[in-house]
Amino acid sequence: MTRIVVTGAAGFIGSNLILGLNARGMTNIIAVDDLTQGDKFRNLANLQIADYVDAGDFYNAFAADAYGEVEAVFHEGACSDTMESNGKYMMQNNYATSVQLYQTCHKRGARLLYASSAATYGGSDTFREEPAFEQPLNVYGYSKLLFDQRMRRECGSAFEHARTGRSRQVVGFRYFNVYGPREQHKGRMASVAFHQFNQFKAEGKVKLFGNYGGYAAGAQMRDFVFIDDVVAVNLWFFDHPKISGIFNLGSGRAQPFNDVASSVVNALRQARGQAPLTLEGLISEGLLEYIAFPDALRGKYQCYTQADLGALRATGCDHDFADVQTGVAKYVQWLAQQS
């Protein structure tokens, strides 16, 4: 039976990947995480796994061949807090650990599908998987970029000759703004949709930043990608083991924060039997409010992101990504069921 490892297994993307694998009948899964934050167990409670291993024990044990033959490792474990300033911790946790994992996968013949990040682009206005556009603004983004650079060097031939099958698969996914179920443990790093859902439930309105960076109030745009789409693309690459490389994983569609807020509020209104409102209607009813852009974020805020999907599409992956309206409606329905 195929054995899979998922690191960051109790986290947002990791737990959803296990859910996706379970839907295929795959349960021989080693879940790796750090449950110091004990509430994360909830993300694993209804999943089928073969074993759980603490992250502090796993990497050395895997290097010592403690788990037998492993087909693939989905490496989602990382510190994803973009506000974390401890660079030594970030580089050890995100870079050095990933390098060790890659070296073990290479030695053991396991495939590696890992989480990179759109934070590698940072201050760029072009989001294409090329060094010219990689300008991280924080040590988190740099930790992800450094591992991508390492993989380009280590796997150059595999990345260049992706379809030859000469090397074991290595794929990095540059996640954009992912949202969806099982992110409740992330605190301030949870998605905009998650925070807006809870804000509306508590205060009866949603607050967005006002005009900034040449954009009108709430009109700053991001590439928001639904977690189901992230899982689907990961599994597509799992099904295509000869394809390696670094790929953007976003919807390829920039949408304003106003769209997210409108989708959250209208999904909740629909659940109450109320008619949807236009953006203007939400504002006039006091359901959407704009606040001054915080000084602390000036010069550090991306007003626009949109994944270039050219490289992804060139592999033959033609997955159809949900727009904000569709994905957020599904997510709000799930959140309401948890309340």
Residues recognised as catalytic: 140, 186
- 111 within 8 A of 135, measured Cβ to Cβ: no
Cα angle 202-80-258, degrees, rounded to a multiple of 5 = 45
Tokens encoding 11: 């986290």
Paired with 290 in beta bridges are 208
- Alpha-carbon distance 339 to 337, whole Å? 6
- Alpha-carbon distance 294 to 275, whole Å? 33
Radius of gyration of the chain, Cα coordinates, nearest whole angstrom? 20
CB proximity list for 310: less than 8 A, separation 6 or greater: 128
Q: Go through the chain and tell me how many residues it has.
A: 339
- Alpha-carbon distance 132 to 308, whole Å? 14
CB proximity list for 322: less than 8 A, separation 6 or greater: 226, 228, 229, 251, 330
- Alpha-carbon distance 314 to 335, whole Å? 35
- Contacts for 30-35 with beta carbons within 8 Å, 24 or more apart? 30/3, 30/4, 30/5, 30/6, 30/58, 30/67, 30/70, 31/6, 32/5, 32/6, 32/7, 32/8, 32/58, 32/77, 33/7, 33/8, 33/9, 33/77, 35/10
Burial 286-310 (b: 16+ CB within 10 A, else e): ebbbeeebeeeeeeeebebbbbbbe
